[in-house]
């Protein structure tokens, strides 16, 4: 009886440990993030905050990470590569040299080389206009250092996800929930492998024609955009955050986000439907809609 009781207590204790287990991301500047890592790519790590597992997905460049201590005890060390400061670069404010009194003896000119100009990488805010190297949009997602993220296009359009109807419904394989750029590549491969054209996928075609790097966002990206559009959460109405976002769109020749109409994501559910979401505060935030219907589309671009 005593042995059985001890085994039950051990099982319960292990259950508590499993429930509270977390990944620990240690960055190159020694800061630590308690997280649940969801994906590691050659360029970045995506994770949810351990304290908010149902919240937005965060992205941190791989070069900024020293190592990850996983919940199961394993440790993965990353070799930080040399990083290039984010653009635009802003010269540090120079210090005015002190003026010597008129009676002071002349000072010989210094032969030491001039100090190199220091640069400070710009930090962005949600709802701020981004306009660099021909890429223009409103910042809708940010990494923790606020120097990189995602911008959303100024314009939007009602389009079909795809043009296929019964009996020609098909699964394309665009099932990535976190990165629409991956889905864009899968659609491109499907087109090439089935003798199709981008005209068969109007929403993807419209995003693609904006130029290199533009794509139709995945459903998790769209959900995070919706949260950020509403000030970081949808628990209550935040008109100030929405107005800032919408004014940045409108003031730069774009269109305000629509809170009543669903937006297509690039993530498909099955041969008939794809996932959509809206910008309002009332759930449900995700529903599946036939791909051959027309709904709103916005393109995004990483920076």
Q: In what order do the strands lie in the sheet with 273-277?
A: 157-160, 294-297, 263-268, 273-277, 286-290
Considering the domain architecture, whether residues 149 and 64 belong to the same structural domain is answered as no
Instruction: Per-residue pLDDT tens, the chain, 303 aa: give them.
Output: 555 544 444 444 444 444 457 899 988 877 888 889 988 887 788 888 888 887 788 888 888 888 899 888 888 888 644 443 433 444 444 444 444 444 445 545 556 666 665 556 789 999 999 999 999 999 999 999 899 999 999 999 999 999 999 999 999 999 999 999 999 999 999 999 999 999 999 999 999 999 999 999 999 999 999 999 999 988 888 999 999 999 999 999 999 999 999 999 999 999 999 999 999 999 999 999 999 999 999 999 999
E-only strand ranges, the chain:
23-27, 32-40, 44-49, 58-61, 65-69, 75-77, 89-91, 119-121, 129-132, 135-142, 149-152, 157-160, 214-215, 263-268, 273-277, 286-290, 294-297, 300-302
Q: Residue 63's domain is classified under what CATH number?
A: 2.30.30.100
Domain that includes residue 220, residue range: 132-302
| Separation of alpha carbons 52 and 34, rounded Å | 10
The predicted structure's pLDDT at residue 113: 65
First and final C-alpha spacing in the chain: 62
**Residue 15 belongs to some domain of the structure:** no
**Residue 212 belongs to some domain of the structure:** yes
The predicted structure's pLDDT at residue 97: 46
Tokens of 268: 């498909």
**CB of 221 within 8 A of CB of 150?**
yes
- Tokens 């250092």 belong to 145
Considering the domain architecture, whether residues 68 and 200 belong to the same structural domain is answered as no
The predicted structure's pLDDT at residue 78: 81
**CB of 47 within 8 A of CB of 23?**
yes
Considering the domain architecture, whether residues 263 and 177 belong to the same structural domain is answered as yes
Instruction: Look at strands 75-77 and 58-61 and give their pairing.
Output: unpaired
Considering the domain architecture, whether residues 246 and 148 belong to the same structural domain is answered as yes
**Residue 225 belongs to some domain of the structure:** yes
- Tokens 């929405």 belong to 242
**Residue 228 belongs to some domain of the structure:** yes
Considering the domain architecture, whether residues 160 and 250 belong to the same structural domain is answered as yes
Considering the domain architecture, whether residues 138 and 256 belong to the same structural domain is answered as yes
The predicted structure's pLDDT at residue 120: 66
What is the largest distance, in Å, between two alpha-carbon atoms of the chain? 97
Considering the domain architecture, whether residues 137 and 281 belong to the same structural domain is answered as yes
Considering the domain architecture, whether residues 151 and 272 belong to the same structural domain is answered as yes
User: Domain end: 77, 98, 113, which one?
Assistant: 77
Q: What is the DSSP letter of 282?
A: S
**Residue 286 belongs to some domain of the structure:** yes
Q: What is the DSSP letter of 57?
A: P
**Residue 122 belongs to some domain of the structure:** no
Give 257's Cβ-side CA count (13 Å radius).
31
Give, in order, the Cα–Cα distances in Å from 128 to each of 76, 91, 134, 143: 35, 21, 16, 14
The predicted structure's pLDDT at residue 93: 43
Tokens of 255: 């269109």
Give, in order, the Cα–Cα distances in Å from 185 to each of 24, 153, 212, 297: 31, 20, 12, 18
Considering the domain architecture, whether residues 289 and 145 belong to the same structural domain is answered as yes
**CB of 191 within 8 A of CB of 163?**
no
Q: What is the DSSP letter of 225?
A: H
Considering the domain architecture, whether residues 44 and 153 belong to the same structural domain is answered as no
Considering the domain architecture, whether residues 147 and 296 belong to the same structural domain is answered as yes
Tokens of 273: 């439907």
Question: How many structural domains is the chain composed of?
Answer: 2
Output the pTM of the full model: 0.64
Considering the domain architecture, whether residues 65 and 156 belong to the same structural domain is answered as no
Number of H helices, E strands in the chain: 5, 18
User: Domain end: 42, 77, 112, which one?
Assistant: 77
**Nearest 5°: CA angle at 150, between 135 and 47?**
155
**Residue 229 belongs to some domain of the structure:** yes
Q: What is the DSSP letter of 85?
A: P
């Amino acid at each position: 009886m005593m042995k059985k009781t001890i085994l039950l207590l051990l099982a319960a204790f292990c259950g508590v440990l499993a429930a509270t287990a977390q990944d620990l991301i240690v960055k190159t500047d020694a800061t630590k993030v308690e997280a649940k890592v969801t994906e590691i790519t050659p360029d970045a790590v995506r994770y949810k905050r351990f304290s908010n597992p149902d919240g937005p997905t965060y992205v941190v460049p791989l070069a900024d990470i020293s190592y990850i201590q996983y919940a199961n005890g394993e440790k993965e060390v990353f070799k930080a590569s040399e990083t290039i400061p984010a653009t635009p670069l802003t010269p540090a404010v120079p210090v005015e040299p002190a003026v010597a009194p008129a009676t002071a003896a002349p000072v010989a000119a210094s032969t030491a080389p001039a100090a190199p100009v220091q640069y400070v990488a710009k930090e962005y805010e949600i709802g701020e206009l981004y306009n660099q190297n021909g890429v223009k949009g409103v910042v809708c997602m940010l990494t923790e250092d606020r120097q990189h993220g995602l911008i959303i296009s100024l314009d939007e359009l009602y389009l079909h996800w795809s043009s296929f109807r019964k009996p020609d419904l098909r699964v394309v394989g665009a099932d990535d929930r976190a990165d629409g750029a991956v889905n864009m590549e899968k659609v491109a491969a499907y087109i090439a492998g089935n003798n199709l054209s981008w005209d068969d996928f109007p929403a993807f075609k419209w995003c693609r024609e904006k130029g290199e790097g533009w794509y139709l966002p995945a459903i998790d990206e769209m959900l995070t955009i919706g949260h950020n559009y509403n000030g970081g959460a949808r628990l209550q109405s935040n008109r100030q955050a929405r107005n800032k976002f919408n004014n940045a769109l409108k003031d730069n020749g774009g269109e305000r986000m629509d809170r009543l109409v669903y937006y297509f994501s690039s993530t498909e559910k099955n041969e008939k439907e794809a996932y959509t979401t809206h910008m309002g505060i009332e759930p449900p935030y995700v529903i599946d809609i036939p791909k051959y219907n027309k709904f709103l589309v916005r393109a995004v671009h990483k920076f």
